[in-house]
Amino acid sequence: MIPPKEITYAGGGVLSAPPEESFVLNLGPQHPAAHGVLRIKMTMDGEWITRAEPVIGYIHRMHEKMGENRTYAKFLPNTSRIDYLAAMHYTHAFVGAVERGARIEVPLRAEYIRVITSELQRIASHLVGWGAWIMDLGGLTPILYAFDDRERILDLMEHICGARLTYCYYRFGGLCNDVDDYFLQGARDFVPYMRGRLKMYRALVTDNIILRKRLEGIGIIDAEMCRRYGVTGPVLRGAGVPYDVRRAEPYSIYPRFEFAIPHYPAGDSMARYLVRMDEMEQSLRIIEQALDQIPAGPVMGKVPRVLKLPAGDYCYAVEAGRGRFMVRIVSDGKDTPYRVKLRTPCFANLSPFEEASKGMILPDALAMLGSLDLVIPDIDR
Sketch the domain layout of the chain as residue ranges.
63-379
| Average pLDDT estimate for 303-320 | 95
| pLDDT of 19 | 54
% of the chain beyond a pLDDT of 70? 94
Does position 14 have pLDDT exceeding 80, yes or no?
Answer: no
CATH class of 63-379: mainly alpha
Report how far residue 83's alpha carbon sits from residue 18's, in angstroms, rounded to the nearest whole number: 40
**How far is C-alpha 71 from the geometric centre of its chain's CA atoms?**
27
Could you say which DSSP state residue 153 is in?
A: H
Does position 281 have pLDDT exceeding 80, yes or no?
Answer: yes
Does position 17 have pLDDT exceeding 60, yes or no?
Answer: no
Does position 11 have pLDDT exceeding 60, yes or no?
Answer: no
Residues 6+ apart with CB under 8 A from 375: 35, 36, 83, 84, 85, 86, 322, 346
pLDDT band at 13 (very low <50, low <70, confident <90, very high): very low
Sheet (strand 48-55) strand order: 23-27, 39-45, 48-55
| Average pLDDT estimate for 347-360 | 95
